[in-house]
Homo-oligomer: A and B are copies of this chain.
């Protein structure tokens, strides 16, 4: 038995307790990987794990893990994870909600004396945001066995390497590979997370099933024309790089709309940048994300065609620098189905949506199937102290996670 109201209240209290563990004092939440606040968060989460009937440990990369044994201790485990690190001046639910929800679901099983055919491991990953060492998903990639060894040498802004930081945290950096889980050791990866977008709110739904974590293409473009005097060069004789870039930004927007993807021009700089000078060069960035890699490729190709055409028409030079590229992570139809059944089982409508943001779940597809449950958040706001969810929605998330674990158990036993 799991009561959504009781669970919701406790989840909110626990997110508040974690929010107090901050490098920036009580008023501002900043908790970075392998800091004293991280150790405090691990310790607090470990207490809750113990109270929920789990055995806890901290792995070689500082991730805290609570294990709830199943009927067969050697059966592949269901991992329920999310992260305990934050951006600077963060919200209190991004990451943490998934960890405490995992504990809450296990607690309900434990109180009912229910053992499932598989062990459950709840994980609080130490680094997802990548604030300290630039590389994101250090914790989850470490467990998935896909962490780039070069990351151990990455430096934080004080010149401290990941290796050194592990050592200061009380871990042996030489043993970092021991964090990796063995192939075949996992049955599934589940993650509960706030949506960080406005869709569920606009649909009036507390929960949503993630269909895929978007792949992303990030690029910097440069348009070069000819700077000139704003008073003396006739309109028809101009090679105005900013007017060209303005068309390009609108092309980014309409490519996003036309292809059903999200496309953003986030940075734009006009040079020389004087009131009375026609801009001679403009640099701007693209961030284009899609649930399907082929949709992303088509959208980017379409955009390139449009940019080439406008550059030709305006007699501008176009150049491009790739910044980042990652493939989409499709969610498992089997796990999505289990989440959906759990949702409808509680009388709610199911809505599947893409995750435009990255998550720990992205690290695991090489090792096991993944799925995610999104919880509605206010105004889609996150990475911001204004991040808000309701206790009701959080409680429903714990209930659906709990029910999903039971449904997966039934499938195994069938």
A383 is an interface residue with CB less than 8 A from chain B: yes
Asked if A279 meets B253 with Cβ closer than 8 Å, knowing A197-B232, A229-B380, the reply is no
**A369 proximity list for chain B (CB < 8 A):** none
A149 is an interface residue with CB less than 8 A from chain B: no
**A267 proximity list for chain B (CB < 8 A):** 270, 273-275
The 10 closest A-B pairs by CB, nearest first: A231-B356, A197-B232, A230-B264, A246-B249, A246-B246, A232-B356, A230-B287, A235-B256, A275-B285, A196-B232
A355 to B230, CA, bound (A): 11
User: Could you write out 23 A-B pairs with CB less than 8 Å apart?
Assistant: A196-B229, A197-B232, A197-B233, A198-B233, A202-B237, A218-B276, A229-B383, A230-B262, A230-B287, A231-B287, A231-B355, A232-B356, A235-B256, A235-B262, A235-B263, A236-B257, A242-B266, A243-B265, A246-B265, A266-B273, A266-B277, A268-B270, A268-B273
Complex interface residues of chain A between 194 and 248 (CB less than 8 A to chain B): 195-199, 202, 214, 216, 218, 228-237, 240, 242-243, 245-248
A102 to B256, CA, bound (A): 61
A223 to B20, CA, bound (A): 37
A289 is an interface residue with CB less than 8 A from chain B: yes
A278 is an interface residue with CB less than 8 A from chain B: yes
A160 is an interface residue with CB less than 8 A from chain B: no
A233 to B355, CA, bound (A): 10
Chain A residues touching B, majority SS:
mixed
Find the B residue at minimum CB distance from A247. Answer: B250
Find the B residue at minimum CB distance from A261. Answer: B235
Q: Which of A249, A256, A289 has the most CB of B within 10 A?
A: A249
Q: Is the CB of B357 within 8 A of A231?
A: yes
Find the B residue at minimum CB distance from A374. Answer: B232
Partner of A289, one of B230, B253, B269: B230
**A198 proximity list for chain B (CB < 8 A):** 232-234, 237
Q: Is the CB of A276 within 8 A of B264?
A: yes
